[in-house]
Structure 1
Amino acid sequence: MIIRRARPEEVVRLRAIADYQFGFPAGDLLIPDNVVVGVSPATRRIREIYGEEGLLAVLRAHDYLYSLSLLGAKRLLALPEPRLRARLRVETPPSKSINCRIIETIDHDLRPGDEVIVLNSSGELVGVGRLRLSPTEILENECWGEAIRLRKTVKGDNS
């Protein structure tokens, strides 16, 4: 991976992708002006987005949309609720597979396959993952299967 500072036209394109995927003004929240990118040496395409804190997101090769990291999810929490969010009825999810019964609220504009930011019952970030069912199916409580597959989770303090 080649790490370099993004050119101004690349910053505009990266923000446009975020606005398309997450809605305006997600591009300005997710992509800072001084963004650093990881470029694939084979294809010369941008694959990783870094801010001052670390990895913000990864651009997926098959559709060129973002897979969020926890830092990227924290930046997008500035969007008004319930945008991009699912709130759980519990403090800690039992596993990386979240079923319908423990989801309290969810953004109705999400679709299966979308990135979703998962919050606990206190409103704190638990993790980020991919939605597997539509919000309508989840909230009807008629489903028993996996609703969200968590990809990254916040490490708990075991002290």
Structure 2
Amino acid sequence: MKLRKPSEGEIFRLKAIADYQFGWPAGDLLFPHEDQIIVGISPATRRIREVYDSEGLIAVLRAHDYYYSLSLLGADRLRKGFPLPRLRVIVRMLREKTKTVFANDVIDIDTNLKAGDEVIIVDPEDRLLGVGRLRLSPADILSKVSGEAVRVRKLVRR
């Protein structure tokens, strides 16, 4: 992975992707300091795959759809910038070292999400617990259908 500063056009595109995927003003929340952004370029495709700033990795651009997979840092920035329950799955408890949130454990969820969306996993006090991908629709989760509600990708170490 080759690291370099992005052009102004690339910064505009990175922010536009975030605004499209998560809703406005996600681009400004994820990338508040444009002069500190560093991108990781795939050597094979020469496309942007990773986005960093001075604090660390913010997000990874998925190769198959060019949407973001959030890091914990990126998820925390969106959590602080958006009101509850936007982009969130609020869980009763999250077991350590788990890769699954079951529908029974979900207290509330953003009803504007759809299966396959990137979600921020929080507790009832809105503390970040992890990030993952939604596996069921919010309607199914709230109706307490059994099964995997969220596939967890990263957990906050406590």
Answer yes or no: is 1:107 the counterpart of 2:107: no
The whole-number CA distance in structure 2 between the counterparts of 1:4 and 1:66 is: 19
Answer yes or no: is 1:79 the counterpart of 2:103: no
Look up the SS of the partner of 1:76 in the other structure.
Answer: helix
Residue number among 119, 140, 143 corresponding to 1:140 in the alignment: 143
The whole-number CA distance in structure 2 between the counterparts of 1:44 and 1:25 is: 28
Instruction: Give the match for residue 155 of structure 1.
Output: 157
Structure 1 ranges of 4+ moved more than 4 A: none
- 1:9-24 alignment runs, 5 A limit: 9-24=9-24
> Which amino acid is the alignment partner of residue 146 of structure 2?
W
- 1:57-96 alignment runs, 5 A limit: 57-77=59-79, 78-90=81-93, 92-93=94-95, 95-96=98-99
Structure 1 residue 122: deviation in Å? 2.5
User: TM-score normalized by structure 2?
Assistant: 0.94
Instruction: Give the match for residue 44 of structure 1.
Output: 46
Equivalent pairs counted in the alignment come to 154
> Which amino acid is the alignment partner of residue 9 of structure 1?
G
The whole-number CA distance in structure 1 between the counterparts of 2:90 and 2:54 is: 28
Instruction: Give the match for residue 3 of structure 2.
Output: 3
User: TM-score normalized by structure 1?
Assistant: 0.94
The whole-number CA distance in structure 2 between the counterparts of 1:129 and 1:116 is: 6
> Which amino acid is the alignment partner of residue 88 of structure 1?
V
Task: Spell out, residue by residue over 1:104-144, the C-alpha distance to the aligned partner (whole angstroms, 9 max, x if none).
Answer: 01000000000000001332100000000000000011x11
Task: Spell out, residue by residue over 1:14-45, the C-alpha distance to the aligned partner (whole angstroms, 9 max, x if none).
Answer: 00000000000001111231211000111110
- Name the % identity: 56
Look up the SS of the partner of 1:108 in the other structure.
Answer: coil
Instruction: Give the match for residue 118 of structure 1.
Output: 121
Instruction: Give the match for residue 30 of structure 2.
Output: 30
Look up the SS of the partner of 1:21 in the other structure.
Answer: helix
Structure 1 residue 47: deviation in Å? 0.2
The whole-number CA distance in structure 2 between the counterparts of 1:116 and 1:2 is: 28
The whole-number CA distance in structure 2 between the counterparts of 1:46 and 1:31 is: 15
